[in-house]
């Protein structure tokens, strides 16, 4: 339950009120944004909240128990502090959003209504909608390991053990906001960079990462198709590093990386298909592994 300071509570009990809502967004990189639905700047909790954003918020409900409370913040990208590149690059992913009730006639009278984190962000033209979730969402996260046929390690980490050397490439031609021709890459085999992580090391998107959907040999280089968000500001001559890709399967771990001894999945785990085969009498159960 939100605690309302006595002065604000007394104000709200009056016949005429001067209250508004303010939102303070604290990004994981330390950047802080302040917004309000009032028509002038307000200083709330030491943060300047500007009115030029056109923010609006859906009704937020608080529930008992372990249910995840959610709400939505909607607005236009009219603030100079919010850019397309920030949203596309995931700068607001996981950011903490604090919602305050404020007496705009006396901004020191504030009440923190809720604190949540930004989840999914959708965009249509110049308008965006950010979903916020309460801390109860942490209870839905997987803790520990899952028993699956696929590997749950990341290529090149201490559990994988494979030395995943990266290669450096340069954008030679731009085919679309998700496709390009790159030079400087020397993949040892077809599909070597499929599902690989591309990290920009120059240009406006420096340190931003994208996943490569697939690679195709081209006459003047290597054609790369990116799976993640588009890069509208990609330019010829920008440099990136690219790691090989892994689809988390035992077959690829064994054939592509010769690293089957460190595979962190359970490829021989029988699934429902094995149970159904046994039920119809057509399955072959001779003790051999189900996955070679």
Work out whether the CA dihedral 90, 94, 100, 106 comes out positive or negative.
negative
CA dist., res. 4 & res. 280, Å (int): 65
**Token pair listed for 195:** 């599902």
Rounding to the nearest 10 degrees, give the CA dihedral for residues 241, 119, 49, 2: -150
* Comma-separated ranges of CATH 2.40.30 domains in the chain: 167-242
Domain 167-242 indexed as CATH 2.40.30: yes
How far is it, in rounded angstroms, from Cα 22 to Cα 110?
A: 9
Of 34, 7, 32, 11, nearest to 22 by C-alpha is 34
pTM over 0.85: no
In this structure, CATH architecture of domain 6-138: Roll (2.30)
Structure-derived torsion over alpha carbons of residues 233, 235, 241, 243, reported in degrees to the nearest 10: 70
The ranges of the chain annotated as CATH 2.30.110 are 6-138
Residue pLDDT tens, the chain, 292 long: 567 888 888 888 888 889 888 888 898 888 898 888 888 899 998 999 888 655 555 544 444 444 445 555 555 444 556 676 677 667 788 888 888 999 999 989 999 888 888 877 776 666 667 777 766 666 767 777 778 889 999 888 899 999 878 899 999 998 887 889 999 999 888 889 999 999 889 877 777 788 898 898 888 899 999 886 666 678 899 999 999 999 999 999 999 999 999 999 988 877 776 666 665 666 666 767 655 5
Are the C-beta atoms of 134 and 83 separated by less than 8 Å? no
């Amino acid at each position: 339950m939100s605690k309302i300071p006595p002065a604000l509570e007394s104000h709200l009990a009056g016949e005429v009120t001067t209250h508004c809502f303010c939102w303070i967004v604290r990004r994981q990189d330390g950047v802080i944004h302040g917004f309000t639905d009032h028509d002038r700047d307000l200083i709330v909790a030491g943060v300047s909240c500007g009115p030029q954003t056109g923010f609006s918020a859906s009704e937020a409900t608080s529930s008992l128990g372990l249910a995840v409370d959610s709400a939505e913040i909607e607005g236009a990208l009219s603030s100079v502090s919010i850019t397309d590149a920030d949203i596309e690059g995931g700068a607001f992913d996981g950011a903490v959003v604090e919602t305050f009730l404020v007496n705009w006639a006396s901004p020191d009278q504030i009440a923190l209504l809720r604190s949540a984190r930004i989840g999914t962000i959708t965009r249509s033209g110049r308008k965006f909608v950010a979903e916020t979730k309460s801390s109860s969402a942490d209870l839905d996260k997987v803790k520990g390991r899952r028993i699956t046929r696929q590997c749950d390690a990341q290529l090149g980490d201490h559990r994988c053990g494979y030395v995943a050397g990266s290669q450096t490439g340069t954008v030679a031609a731009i085919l679309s906001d998700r496709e390009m021709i790159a030079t400087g890459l020397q993949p040892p085999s077809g599909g070597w960079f499929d599902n690989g992580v591309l990290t920009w090391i120059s240009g406006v998107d420096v340190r931003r990462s994208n996943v490569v959907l697939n690679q195709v040999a081209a006459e003047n280089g290597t054609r790369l198709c990116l799976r993640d968000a588009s890069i509208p500001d990609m330019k010829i001559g920008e440099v990136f590093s690219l790691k090989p890709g892994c689809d988390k399967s035992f077959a690829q771990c064994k054939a592509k990386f010769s690293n089957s001894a460190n595979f962190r999945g359970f490829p021989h785990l029988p699934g429902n298909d094995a149970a159904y085969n046994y039920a119809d009498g057509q399955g072959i159960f001779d003790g051999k592994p189900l996955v070679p």
